Amino acid sequence: MLTFLSGLLIGLLLSAPVGPMGGLAAFHAASKHIKAARLLALGVCLADALLAFLATWVSYITLPEKPLALVLGILMFALAWHLWRTRAHNKAPHHGASFAMGLGATLLHPGNIIAFALAFQWLGGLGVTIEGLPGQLLLTVGVFLGAMGMWELLIRASLRLGSTPQMGRFQVRFKQTLAILCALTGVWAFLSII
């Protein structure tokens, strides 16, 4: 039970900082595209669960960081370009693209992999042991449910924001701010290659 609760806590904590994917999910929810927001969140949370499961198998991960950073940078710049050039509209985003974006961006981000490795080191320091496949699965399910809980909070808060009259006026600025955040993430990814 402690393993499952530890996974819940890690899922909540690692999902709390809102980055480009969180901003995109918030934008979808505020624009009344709840299914797209939840599918994006599902993609992110499945990637988190996969990374958590993989992190339980290895104590030291060597990653090809430069190729991952290059792909992440290209992905973030493409998203930034798309967000910047499209006007605010109420057309629903493609649901498959929302899911794929959440899954791909989360899996490609080297920081996520490092965060899980550090979180599991922290658990070890607290004396929490992950015993065998059942323990790994309990921890992974905990991470998934904790992350989904945090994403659901973000989506519900954004949905409430979208029901206010101010949202219509700020929708374009919100998309532009999100585009800048994605571009900055792309710049960070490219600079990490150097």
For residue 163, what is the DSSP state? T
> What would the mean pLDDT of 53-70 be, rounded to a whole number?
65
- Band the pLDDT of 60: cuts 50, 70, 90: very low
pLDDT of residue 42: 94
* pLDDT tens-digit map of 14-51: 887 677 788 888 888 877 788 988 999 999 999 999 98
* pLDDT tens-digit map of 68-97: 677 767 777 777 777 677 655 556 667 788
Q: How far is the CA of 183 from the CAs of 77, 82, 161, in angstroms?
A: 5, 11, 25
Query: Taking the alpha carbons of 93, 97, 100, 106 in that order, is the dihedral positive or negative?
Result: negative
Report the distance separating Cα 33 and Cα 26, nearest Å: 10
Report the distance separating Cα 86 and Cα 172, nearest Å: 9
Percent of the chain with pLDDT over 70: 77
pTM over 0.75: no
Tokens 């065998």 found at = 132
Torsion of CA 170, 176, 182, 186, to 10 degrees: -160
Report the distance separating Cα 122 and Cα 173, nearest Å: 39
Averaged pLDDT score across all residues of the chain: 77
